[in-house]
Amino acid sequence: MLQLAYESLNPADYQTAEEDDITGDLCDHMKHLTEIAPTERWMGQFSIHDQDPSSGVTSAKTGLPRKGKRRPKIDIRIVCKQQVPNRGYCIEAKRLYRSDSVGEYLDDEGIGAFILGEYAKDDDHGGMIGYVQNGKMQDWLSKVETRLPKLPHHRTAGKIQSWE
């Protein structure tokens, strides 16, 4: 579903777009696929949530609960409605557009939030998307792969993959 939504966008329209604008358009396209015009029967089994707040999260820095507007927001949450409790897949997105973007991708509001248990705490799976807005995808993959093992408590479920 995510790939179908991505393929419906024109990358040239997003060269300088903000993260929330890109994510919002991806979610709108996925919602269209799940709620209005599913191209496959299974698509209707899912719901799409944009900027979905996470509850029950404790700040790693202060040790206090993060409530209200201080709750972390999951950029994209895909929920399977066919099971109770519902099963979710949480996706965090970051723009890759300047030299320090890899740091943002890996910091405590990116992959670090998964490691700290702030993102996808109650979901079954989670992942990251990098919106490549400058440079080549392979160069960004190399930068992420080089720095990822240096993170505390680093672990990945598989190889870093890309769509082109």
146-160 per-position pLDDT tens digit = 887 777 665 554 555
Tell whether 79 is covered by a domain. yes
Question: Which pLDDT belongs to residue 155?
Answer: 55
Question: Which pLDDT belongs to residue 162?
Answer: 54
Tell whether 130 is covered by a domain. yes
Tell whether 156 is covered by a domain. no
Whole-angstrom distance, CA of residue 3 vs CA of residue 133: 17
Tell whether 58 is covered by a domain. yes
Tell whether 20 is covered by a domain. yes
Question: Which pLDDT belongs to residue 160?
Answer: 55
Residue 135 belongs to what domain range? 2-149
18-44 as b/e, with b when 16 or more CB fall inside 10 Å?
A: ebeebbbbbbebbbbbbeeeeeeeebe
Whole-angstrom distance, CA of residue 11 vs CA of residue 58: 37
Short-list 134, 116, 18, CA closest to 72: 116
Question: Which pLDDT belongs to residue 115?
Answer: 72
Tell whether 162 is covered by a domain. no
Question: Which pLDDT belongs to residue 163?
Answer: 53
Tell whether 34 is covered by a domain. yes
Tell whether 161 is covered by a domain. no
Question: Which pLDDT belongs to residue 23?
Answer: 96
Q: Which residues of the chain have pLDDT under 70?
A: 152-164
Give the number of domains in the chain: 1
